[in-house]
Chains A and B, each alone.
Chain A
Amino acid sequence: MDLADIINGQKPLTVVRQPTAHDSAEKHMTGAAVYVDDIREPVGTLHAAPGYAPIAAGRVTRLDLEAVKKAPGVVDVLTAEDIPGVNDISPKHLGDDPAITPDKVMFYGQVLFVVLAETRDQARRAVKLARISTAPAMPVIDVDDAIVADTKIHADYGFTRGDPAEEISRAPKEITGEFRMGGQEHFYLEGQAALAIPGEDGDMMIYSSTQHPSEVQHVTAHVLGLASNQVTVEVRRMGGGFGGKESQATQWAVLAALGARKTGRPCKLRLDRDDDMIMTGKRHDFRVDYRVGVGKDGVLRAVDVTFSARCGYSEDLSLGVVDRTAFHADGAYFYPTCRIVTRRMRTNTVSNTAFRGFGGPQGKLFAERMMDHIAYAIGRDPLDVRKANIYAGAGRDRTPYNMRVEDNILPEIINDLERTSDYWARRREIADFNASSPVLKKGIALTPVKFGISFTLIHLNQAGALVHVYRDGSISLNHGGTEMGQGLFVKVAQVVAEEFGVGLDKVKITATSTAKVPNTAPTAASAGTDLNAQAALAACRAIKERLFDFIQEKYGVGRDRIQFREGKVLIGNEAMEFGQLANEAHLARVSLSSTGFYKTPKIHWDRAKASGRPFYYFAYGAACSEVTVDTMTGEMKVDRVDILHDVGKSINPAIDIGQIEGGFIQGMGWLTTEQLVWDSAGRLQTHAPSTYKIPAASDVPKDFRVALYESGGNREDAIYRSKAVGEPPLMLAISVFSAITDAIASLKPAVMPRLDAPATPEAIMRAIRATTGGDL
């Protein structure tokens, strides 16, 4: 369906743009939705439990597994020696990420062995019986340690424009600062899980809770010494992913497959929650050092910023993640001159990985903090400073990586939100409140979001689909995207139903399988719908082309007089059930099955030269948050949040609003209650929901107003002119962090509160003391 047709009213949309419920909603409610651990296990299935390194660095000198092997129910124990292929699970085959480490230990929690037992309980109990002798080395735990030790997983990378050092020295005002932001545990409610079933010829069938079935397939083949065509990976749904199952679901599938391979029995590995939190990577935490030059009006002249990221012990996805930090270090602002440096520090901690936003939020948090810093330093309202620096027309529309921002709608969005949130009146009320409230102080902030859409690793911007139409008119839909709750499956199904003019009930959504669509990209980068719906559409159109030809041949009616709508096919003045047409076409030997393929146009990127157009388009939004801080204890409550977010023309507004609200709350958790703590020996101390606090229901702002921006649609030809929505809303939560900063700043004029993320009560108290002159 072309946009022109829609505008011309040729066929009103009936499925697309509807706020349809998630395809599995009823099954979620009744417990009928099947996750990996819910699959009925074949008789004889073994259960695997990993045993891990009790030190952060050094070597295992002796691994005594005698007691483990003798424990009740234990069938076998896997060690590195059992690996028939290459002992490496790194996404790019870098050889830095063993499935089971032979003896060298790189973080506390690294897998040393895997127990296979008749029950999961027996496997977990047996793990505890291992006697592990070690020769510990001094671990490198955090970014500061790594900077001192100068350990990196990759060369520094960044963008430079002009001579920022010179511009800063000439600027009327120079501002310097440093701050830290914590990482974030994904806390997908369904932990990592995989079930491997051995087949004939050494083949392996794997049910995995993964965002990247193709990678699980390829890496399993690599580790087991098989060809990719011998391994099939299937995933119907995940109980949440958020990036945590992009590269890091692989290891558990590989280990289950290894167990199945060695014993010839099906093998399941589902991590215990604490093990999951200890053994899998998180959002990268950063230290940021910056120096900027501004005019008296707060307009930027130059930005010099260095991001130092804790990457953990191996590369994993850190190259791309931290690149995206550099890509988003501009926030939504024009930097006339700049030097953006990103450093990828190697530490003896779990390898950090993808997490919703993929490094972008960290870059953006810096940009917004810099805006706050400028505002408090020169005495202007932070919103005015933001507006003065936002991307604008020619001359102020080039990103630091030299891509033009062609689709900027932020000025309009900010204007609208400024009005609907009543920002200025509330700003005055808050000043009055603070003047008469010695203990409780309020703050408000309105911050924008601009997020680049496309994988910056260009080859990932492709997708495949497989569509079958059966003789009864029912449709089977398959594509390379995975469902983790984000509503991808229902959106793609809406596009397919719309294309064939049938109801959603005619489209059977099927599990993602490497046997149906090969060589897929991970479901990530917010691009799931953009890529897979286009691929599915291409498959539908290929089938429709054949149907048009068939109708022309049989009924002599041209395509301009054929419509697929309301479950029927209108052929000239006649109507026929879609199923009848399918059957007639089949009898006339017309193929009713097709693959579809899509690759994102326009994008290109040369990383070495730092030039090109890495993003197809940008997604935009803005949020205004108001908070109250208790200046005696540092406790904080979010009182009201207004969000205006751009999803282009939505395929499914209910799903999109769900992404916006959920993303916002998740981002708020990252910046407030969610604190990861490692001790000096490198042991994660916050490895369960009892100690790691994601937002609960009462943390949601009491007054929470979320609206979709009334958009003319994506200016690029994305599917039905919609926009990607998975990641961008997470960064709306930076408004909460800025509002907290604002509340603390009310204590002393012209001082930028030195607040680190997450803003726990203790961090807020420390910032208050730093602002008012005491210390904590």
Chain B
Amino acid sequence: MRNTIRFIRKGRMVELGAVEPTAMLLDYLREVEGAKGTKEGCREGDCGACTVAIGKLRDGRLAYEPVNSCIHFVGQVDGCEVVTVEDLASEDGTLHPVQAAMVEHHGSQCGFCTPGFVMSLFTLYQGTKGALTRDQVNDWIAGNLCRCTGYRPIVDAAIAACGKTRRDRFAVNAGDTAGLLSFLADTDDVFVGDEDRFIAAPGSIDSLAALYERHPDATIVSGATDVGLWVTKQMRDLPKIILTGRARGFDHIADTGYELMIGAGATYAEVEPYFRALDPDLGELLRRLGSKQVRAVGTVGGNIANGSPIGDTPPALIALDATLELRKGKQERSIPIESFFIDYGKQSRERGELVTGILIPKLSANQIFRCFKVSKRFDQDISSVMGAFRFTVGEDGAISEARIAYGGMAPIPKRAKRAEQALTGAQLRDSRAWARAFAALREDFTPIDDHRASARYRTETAHALLGKALIEAAGTASTRTRLVGRREVA
């Protein structure tokens, strides 16, 4: 048991013995360190002005990831290096290559978003090899909003500075930093505070499950990309925080050949290549989920466990017939993922019970998968409607099974069972069956009006997405049906 939070700043270890459970990294930097370079733009992880780089060991190598420090608990940086915008330039004032490129390309105007962009580009600089396309850079900075420049010069700066051989002092010092990080990489359970008010980071799944069973009123936090807002926006007092990030094996991912096993603690970023390999649409779904900063820390497990009606992975996982694994203390159980979602804010999860993993059957040769997300903005937005479809087609060309699930259409992510039924047994290209399915879809859901979309638009769009899935399944190239996320290489 360790009763401190330890991390690396500017080449030295910082050890904090007293940490408020919900203290945010941004406030630590600005108020405790007095480092005012990192900015607060929104305090909800959407604008990226507070982006810092987190250095950690991945497979023994030092890697830097961007995170939104405004909704990143100080406890989450345990065992990591924290790099901020003040740290990049050399002591003699020479700018870091990404900073110099940003100046040269006129990448700042008001300058307030700039530290966040610089840090995102810093992680891009550290993390990529080879020439970058504009699309790649756009993805990387989707979580950084700029209101002045129109982004063009920032993307130019990124292309000019990143993807090259790394020559900055972070690359030079990578060995030392990795050494420090391995020194910090103990396997202890971390517990800071007392029984009534604490932030804890168990070192194993067993101690995580045990601690949660003992404190079922605690809040389980993986990426904090949602829980963070309970603190910063709802001003909720969360006296007991249990972080999953140190639990060994909780982020384990395995491909058994016929299914994917995703540990609940695996981040979106870690899962992304597996999802993309399973189906390109699933990769695209993750690409558009949150932002680089969100995907660096957010988890599929968290996306499921918090039961959002508009979480983007659950409809896809329901269509894929995934299984959810849960654990309370030593008690483990598995359920079909769709049965986890009972009603708005209500899930099939007992007090003190953890979501521990997801099993996703891979697609067989006779299965066609599609998923589509519709939102006001393509990147880093929440779905108005999200639809996921898996059609199993027999040798006779008939649909032997249809699994259709939507987000944004009901208080929970939900299957369209009537539409599924209308298609089951029908020929894939039978337009009358399609019409029956469209009609049935209207019976399946009664969506609501809100600021994202009206009920009518949701109903129409659910219909349109099913139509798109069928058109594509029947053989039309997605270059003719989609604006983004096309499956074919142009």
Task: Enumerate chain A interface residues (CB-CB to B < 8 A).
Answer: 19, 21-22, 24-35, 37-38, 40, 121, 124-125, 128, 186-191, 237-242, 272-274, 437-440, 484-487, 628, 630, 632-637, 654-655, 657-658, 661-666, 673, 675, 677, 685-686, 688-691, 693-700, 702, 704, 760-762, 765-766, 776
Partner of A21, one of B85, B103, B112: B103
In the complex the two chains form, is A776's CB within 8 Å of B44's CB?
no
The docked-state distance in angstroms from the alpha carbon of A485 to that of B89 is 22
| Min CB–CB distance B108 → chain A (angstroms) | 4
B418 interfacial contact with A, CB 8 Å: no
Which residue of chain B lies nearest to A652 when distances are taken between CB atoms in the complex? Answer: B106
In the complex the two chains form, is B102's CB within 8 Å of A29's CB?
yes
The docked-state distance in angstroms from the alpha carbon of A665 to that of B138 is 15
Contacts of A665 in B (CB 8 A): 150-151
Contacts of A32 in B (CB 8 A): 37, 86
In the complex the two chains form, is B379's CB within 8 Å of A698's CB?
yes
B255 interfacial contact with A, CB 8 Å: no
In the complex the two chains form, is B37's CB within 8 Å of A31's CB?
yes
Known: A26-B95, A485-B148, A690-B44. A34 touches B106 (CB 8 A): no
Task: Rank and list the top 9 A-B pairs by shortest CB-CB distance, nearest first.
Answer: A31-B37, A485-B110, A239-B112, A28-B111, A665-B150, A485-B109, A689-B46, A685-B451, A38-B36
Interface contacts beyond A30-B99, A237-B110, A695-B377: sample of 9 additional A-B pairs, CB < 8 Å, sorted by A: A22-B111, A28-B102, A121-B27, A189-B147, A693-B377, A693-B381, A694-B145, A697-B141, A699-B379
Contacts of A28 in B (CB 8 A): 102, 108, 111, 114-115
In the complex the two chains form, is A273's CB within 8 Å of B42's CB?
yes
B61 interfacial contact with A, CB 8 Å: no
In the complex the two chains form, is A125's CB within 8 Å of B235's CB?
yes
Known: A22-B106, A665-B150. A689 touches B145 (CB 8 A): yes
| Min CB–CB distance B309 → chain A (angstroms) | 15
Of B173-181, B425-433, B458-466, the segment with at least 4 beta carbons within 8 Å of chain A is B458-466
The docked-state distance in angstroms from the alpha carbon of A697 to that of B152 is 8
In the complex the two chains form, is B44's CB within 8 Å of A273's CB?
yes
B334 interfacial contact with A, CB 8 Å: no
B9 interfacial contact with A, CB 8 Å: no
| Min CB–CB distance A407 → chain B (angstroms) | 27
Chain B interface SS verdict (over half): loop
Number of residues from B at the complex interface, CB < 8 A: 86
In the complex the two chains form, is B235's CB within 8 Å of A128's CB?
yes
Known: A654-B106, A688-B46, A689-B46. A633 touches B461 (CB 8 A): yes
Which residue of chain B lies nearest to A654 when distances are taken between CB atoms in the complex? Answer: B106
List B residues 109-123 near A (Cβ within 8 Å). Answer: 109-115, 118
Known: A485-B148, A688-B46. A22 touches B108 (CB 8 A): yes
B337 interfacial contact with A, CB 8 Å: no
Contacts of A702 in B (CB 8 A): 134
Contacts of B36 in A (CB 8 A): 31, 34, 37-38
In the complex the two chains form, is B483's CB within 8 Å of A440's CB?
yes
In the complex the two chains form, is B451's CB within 8 Å of A29's CB?
no
The docked-state distance in angstroms from the alpha carbon of A741 to that of B216 is 55
B446-490 vs A, CB cutoff 8 Å, 1 = contact: the mask equals: 000011111011001100110110010000000011111000000
Which residue of chain A lies nearest to B20 when distances are taken between CB atoms in the complex? Answer: A121
Which residue of chain A lies nearest to B233 when distances are taken between CB atoms in the complex? Answer: A274
Known: A26-B103, A31-B115, A776-B457. A190 touches B138 (CB 8 A): no
The docked-state distance in angstroms from the alpha carbon of A733 to that of B58 is 45
Chosen A-B contacts, 10 in total, with CB atoms closer than 8 Å, are A25-B102, A437-B480, A485-B109, A487-B109, A633-B372, A662-B148, A689-B41, A761-B375, A766-B457, A776-B457
Known: A30-B88, A688-B46, A690-B382. A189 touches B41 (CB 8 A): yes
In the complex the two chains form, is A30's CB within 8 Å of B483's CB?
no
In the complex the two chains form, is B147's CB within 8 Å of A187's CB?
yes
In the complex the two chains form, is B460's CB within 8 Å of A776's CB?
yes
Contacts of B379 in A (CB 8 A): 696-699
B380 interfacial contact with A, CB 8 Å: yes
Contacts of B354 in A (CB 8 A): none
Partner of B146, one of A124, A189, A655: A189
The docked-state distance in angstroms from the alpha carbon of A700 to that of B135 is 10
B246 interfacial contact with A, CB 8 Å: no
Contacts of A487 in B (CB 8 A): 109
Contacts of A673 in B (CB 8 A): 376-377
B49 interfacial contact with A, CB 8 Å: yes
| Min CB–CB distance A147 → chain B (angstroms) | 23
The docked-state distance in angstroms from the alpha carbon of A473 to that of B114 is 33
B72 interfacial contact with A, CB 8 Å: no
In the complex the two chains form, is A440's CB within 8 Å of B481's CB?
yes
Contacts of A677 in B (CB 8 A): 451
| Min CB–CB distance A482 → chain B (angstroms) | 11
In the complex the two chains form, is A240's CB within 8 Å of B110's CB?
yes
Residue of A38, A657, A697 most packed against chain B (CB within 10 A) = A697
Contacts of B142 in A (CB 8 A): 696-698
| Min CB–CB distance B351 → chain A (angstroms) | 27
B153 interfacial contact with A, CB 8 Å: yes
B86-109 vs A, CB cutoff 8 Å, 1 = contact: the mask equals: 101100000100010011101011
Partner of A685, one of B85, B114, B450: B450
In the complex the two chains form, is A189's CB within 8 Å of B460's CB?
no
Contacts of A766 in B (CB 8 A): 457
Partner of B106, one of A25, A38, A440, A776: A25
B43-81 vs A, CB cutoff 8 Å, 1 = contact: the mask equals: 110110100000000000000000000000000000000
Known: A187-B147, A239-B112. A25 touches B37 (CB 8 A): no
Contacts of A664 in B (CB 8 A): 150
B344 interfacial contact with A, CB 8 Å: no
B384 interfacial contact with A, CB 8 Å: yes
In the complex the two chains form, is B111's CB within 8 Å of A485's CB?
yes
Contacts of B85 in A (CB 8 A): 29-31
| Min CB–CB distance A318 → chain B (angstroms) | 23
B139 interfacial contact with A, CB 8 Å: yes
B128 interfacial contact with A, CB 8 Å: no
The docked-state distance in angstroms from the alpha carbon of A762 to that of B374 is 10
Contacts of A663 in B (CB 8 A): 150
Contacts of B153 in A (CB 8 A): 658, 661
| Min CB–CB distance B383 → chain A (angstroms) | 11
In the complex the two chains form, is A484's CB within 8 Å of B110's CB?
yes
Contacts of B484 in A (CB 8 A): 635, 637
In the complex the two chains form, is A632's CB within 8 Å of B468's CB?
yes
Contacts of A655 in B (CB 8 A): 106
The docked-state distance in angstroms from the alpha carbon of A273 to that of B139 is 24
B154 interfacial contact with A, CB 8 Å: yes
In the complex the two chains form, is B147's CB within 8 Å of A188's CB?
yes
B126 interfacial contact with A, CB 8 Å: no
In the complex the two chains form, is A633's CB within 8 Å of B103's CB?
no
Known: A29-B102, A31-B85. A761 touches B384 (CB 8 A): yes
In the complex the two chains form, is B42's CB within 8 Å of A29's CB?
no
The docked-state distance in angstroms from the alpha carbon of A154 to that of B102 is 47
Known: A22-B106, A189-B145, A239-B110. A633 touches B374 (CB 8 A): yes
| Min CB–CB distance A397 → chain B (angstroms) | 33
